[in-house]
Structure 1
Amino acid sequence: MSHYHSSSDEVDNSISISRTYAWVIFALTFGLLISDYMSRQVLNAVFPLLKSEWSLSDYQLGLLSSIVALMVGLLTFPLSLLADRWGRIKCLALMATLWSLATLGCALAQDYEQMFIARFLVGVGEAAYGSVGIAVVVSVFPKHLRATLAGAFMAGGMFGSVLGVGLGGILATHFGWRGAFTGMALFGLTLAILYPIIVREKRISPQRNTAQPSTDIRGRSLRTLFNSRSVLCAYVGSGLQLFVGGTMIVWMPSYLNRYYAMSTDKAGAVAAVVLLCSGIGMILCGILSDRLCLKSPSRKISLAIVYCLSSCIILSIAFSLSHGTAQLILICIGMLLAAGTSGPASAMVANLTHHSIHATAFATLTLANNILGLAPGPFITGKVSDLIGLQAAFQLVPLISIAAAAVFFYARHSYLNDIAQLSGSNDHTSAVAPAQEKHV
């Protein structure tokens, strides 16, 4: 049977598992990520129904979306740190159970306040899933596949959004908005039960069960989260770019409903196509990054800059056009490129931080993504929409990509030096660990 030998950074801390089992782990973890975003984004498909039934403003609707991203941003770091120490698999199963039950609570909400509380709990459940999940995935595959796997894994968020918006719109049309939330909750609960049965901590992380790093080594590892310019820029650049993508995800069904006079199910279906383009973009841009950057690691950053600026130009042109087929095509192309930074940014974070705290590192990336992008995007755009209309608000959103490109450009000159510095630190850590083991 073929096996993958997964090596963590520059330290020989490798594990060997079958390729089949590695891909089973990826499929199940990917499936739960889809459930995560289905539960998160189904709300966007039923915005028009909630707005009508409860007489809500765009500001209130935006808050229902932003509260999830805010809780993810605030809790992802401590919960991911806990998962690194307590066990990633157990934590993933508990998270999925919580967000699924909270989504069921959304279906039972009787007013805006109850819906807000349920969405708050959805955010608590989803807080660390992305960071811990991707840490599990990169731990069972070779290092040279990191941008591809990160892009593909994070594309699960877009595919989940596609299903949440598209399927949510269909379910809402036939069973009401409560039926849409119920369907998402049942899917998540099913996967939450299966995951810990099939994916076992001992099989994927044997070294974590036999030896725990000392406090001194762990402290050194944690310092890699913030001790280089490049990794800080990766966090900030990724977060700013997701302001654009996150806003489009939330408000696209409403945009189509208002300016194209589409019904809830049709608007959800068309918005799902736009989001599908974004997910495909994550995968294709991640693959392109790995292929082009195999011999030139710094090229990842150059590609991230190209993705940012290209998406800004295309989306700006799209929202300056009159409504019609040409506009929708340009929006799809722009969204394909807007999500392209996810793979390169995630690979940068993995390459610039110690393997033992990768869940925490991706949690920090998730924190930046949510605090800088996913949380403020829908909220701010909803507020601007109340003042000048959603069309005008959408014309302003793509300009954030210019700031993201500038941050990645700032990281470009120090990236290789920062990687070399981490490698030297890893050499020291790997030399200290065996010496400590001899005294145990």
Structure 2
Amino acid sequence: MRGWPGNGAPPLVLDASGSVAHLVSRRYARCVALAVVALAMTDYIDRQIVVSTFPYLKKSWGLSDTALGALVTTVSVAIAVFALPAARLADRWGRVRTIAAMGSAWSLAALACAVSGNYAQLFAARSLLGVGEAGYGPAGAALLSGYFPQRLRATVLSVFQAAGPLGSVLGVVLGGVMAGNLGWRVTLGAFGVPGLLLALAFLKVRDYRAPAVSRADGAGTADSGAGEGLTGDQTRSGRPALAATVRELFRSRTAVWCYLGGALNLVVLSTFYTWLPSYLGRAYGLSSAQAGMRAALFILAGFVGAIVFGHLADRCAAGRPRRRLMVPAVLAAGAWGLLFTAFGVLGPGGGQYALIVVAGLPVAAALGTAPAAVIDVVHPSVRATAVGMATLVQNLFGLAVGPLLTGLLSDAFGLQTALAVMPLFCLAAAAAFRIGSRSYEKDFAAVSGGGPEPVAPGTHERELST
């Protein structure tokens, strides 16, 4: 395959393993993955860059820590509210169209943040930023899951999810430098235009065609778009109707525990991504730029940890599939030990900072592994919706909780005490992943055994010949 075919070309088709049949070239798949990761980075830059402006917003508008934390929480709440509708749109309307639309929406919202005249307007613009980001994670994960084989799924999605820590690093570091030199307004809107251009470029990426879910057992035939072979729970397009979709999302016990475990883990991750720069500034007497650079090492460790431990989960799963979830379970417990020691036992100093940075590795271990396990145990036709459900739960009960709850605890007991208490959520996440691992192999076998019927010989070659 040459070039970068547009959506006018015939859609790609999934095989029984849930990956694109007769894979497109590795170069093409990697180019798509690179574009997905690059746009995700602008997502997290726009989401995270506000934390570097906290000292300036606090001084300009006299805001409390609770009000500042709410600027991060509102993004997560908006993502949670719109995640399922946006994810279902991705499954029905198309993944690449959804990516282009969502990326454009959050980039325009980032520009609106820059011209906010008061706290209420900034809060509203940040909420709209979350609306735009709601469908990107599910659509991007579903797109990549089709382009790469199942045996690499946790690795590929960990690379995708690692764009979060990397984008957060850039947001914190560049935000700290830019806010001090260019002001908070320019800082908040700086990446709106690049994100908009990259989002529109996705209109040239080819989507794939998923098989439909059957009423009886979740098996189905490739969705032809013509409505052949429909069951009572399918729409006329061959896609699963709402009732069948909901059943599929919660049929698997593994998926449910992954929804919950991912959310609990993100309570801690969002807490430190949001408040660590402020803690370092207050406790260590650092400037905004210096605190951003120090905090960036913790976030960068998360970037490395997400990829390395995601790949480790894939390797461990080769011998015993349930180990794909045991890896994040063990590492979440380890993250609690490191963070509690740093903030509950030690005070500001070299020892504390070293433990903080090291803890950044295991605390991000579930970023790609949890959604990969969810995708493994649901039917390919509802992948984006399943990731959307994970996004809803993780944002509403994870990302939305961390920054705001930490702000409340900080106003009441001090920031260091708050950061010592919040890692308890890591232990709860470890328990959820451990329980989910017990049913993983059974749920995965159920989906694998109910894959789509084979497509006639030569069909895939004709589909990909354009």
TM above 0.5: yes
**Alpha-carbon contact 1:80-1:132 (below 8 Å) kept:** yes
Q: Percent identity?
A: 39
Instruction: Give the 3-state SS of the residue equivalent to 1:252 in structure 2.
Output: helix
**Alpha-carbon contact 1:224-1:352 (below 8 Å) kept:** no
Match of 2:329 in 1: 305
**Which has more helix, going by share of residues?**
1
| Residue from 254, 257, 267 that aligns with 2:291 | 267
> In angstroms, what is the RMSD of aligned CA positions?
2.2
Match of 1:282 in 2: 306
Match of 2:460 in 1: none
Q: Shift in Å at residue 206 of structure 1?
A: 8.8
Instruction: Give the 3-state SS of the residue equivalent to 1:17 in structure 2.
Output: coil
Q: Please tell me whether residue 430 in structure 1 is matched to residue 430 in structure 2.
A: no
Q: Shift in Å at residue 413 of structure 1?
A: 2.1
Alpha-carbon deviations, 1:21-71, whole Å to 9, x = none? 111100111111000000000001111110111000011011111000001
Match of 2:5 in 1: none
| Residue from 247, 272, 287 that aligns with 1:248 | 272
Alpha-carbon deviations, 1:81-138, whole Å to 9, x = none? 0111111111111111111111111110111011011101101111111111111111
Instruction: Give the 3-state SS of the residue equivalent to 2:286 in structure 1.
Output: coil
Q: Shift in Å at residue 187 of structure 1?
A: 2.1
Q: Please tell me whether residue 16 in structure 1 is matched to residue 23 in structure 2.
A: yes
Q: Please tell me whether residue 404 in structure 1 is matched to residue 429 in structure 2.
A: yes
Instruction: Give the 3-state SS of the residue equivalent to 1:413 in structure 2.
Output: helix
The correspondence of residues 60-75 of structure 1 with structure 2, limited to 5 A, is 60-75=67-82
In the aligned structure 2, how far is the partner of 1:75 from the partner of 1:108? 25
Match of 1:86 in 2: 93
* Change beyond 3 A, Cα 1:413–1:210: closer
Match of 1:368 in 2: 393
* Change beyond 3 A, Cα 1:11–1:114: closer
Q: Which amino acid aligns with 2:206?
A: R
Alpha-carbon deviations, 1:127-155, whole Å to 9, x = none? 11111111111111111100101111000
**Alpha-carbon contact 2:14-2:209 (below 8 Å) kept:** no
Q: Which amino acid aligns with 1:136?
A: L
**Alpha-carbon contact 1:321-1:327 (below 8 Å) kept:** yes
In the aligned structure 1, how far is the partner of 2:169 from the partner of 2:18? 39
Q: Shift in Å at residue 340 of structure 1?
A: 0.3
Alpha-carbon deviations, 1:359-379, whole Å to 9, x = none? 111111111111111001101
| Residue from 35, 45, 63 that aligns with 2:42 | 35
Q: Which amino acid aligns with 1:154?
A: Q
- Aligned length in residues: 426
Q: Which amino acid aligns with 1:291?
A: R
In the aligned structure 1, how far is the partner of 2:352 from the partner of 2:36? 35
Match of 2:183 in 1: 176
Match of 1:200 in 2: 206
Q: Shift in Å at residue 193 of structure 1?
A: 2.8
TM-score, structure 2 length as denominator? 0.87
TM-score, structure 1 length as denominator? 0.92
Match of 1:125 in 2: 132
In the aligned structure 2, how far is the partner of 1:212 from the partner of 1:330? 58
Match of 2:363 in 1: 338
Match of 1:437 in 2: none
Q: Shift in Å at residue 412 of structure 1?
A: 2.5
The correspondence of residues 349-368 of structure 1 with structure 2, limited to 5 A, is 349-368=374-393
In the aligned structure 1, how far is the partner of 2:107 from the partner of 2:401? 24
Match of 1:438 in 2: none
Instruction: Give the 3-state SS of the residue equivalent to 2:24 in structure 1.
Output: strand
Give 5+ residue unaligned stretches, structure 1.
435-440
In the aligned structure 1, how far is the partner of 2:430 from the partner of 2:86? 30
Give 5+ residue unaligned stretches, structure 2.
3-11, 212-221, 235-239, 457-466
Q: Which amino acid aligns with 2:175?
A: G
Match of 2:167 in 1: 160
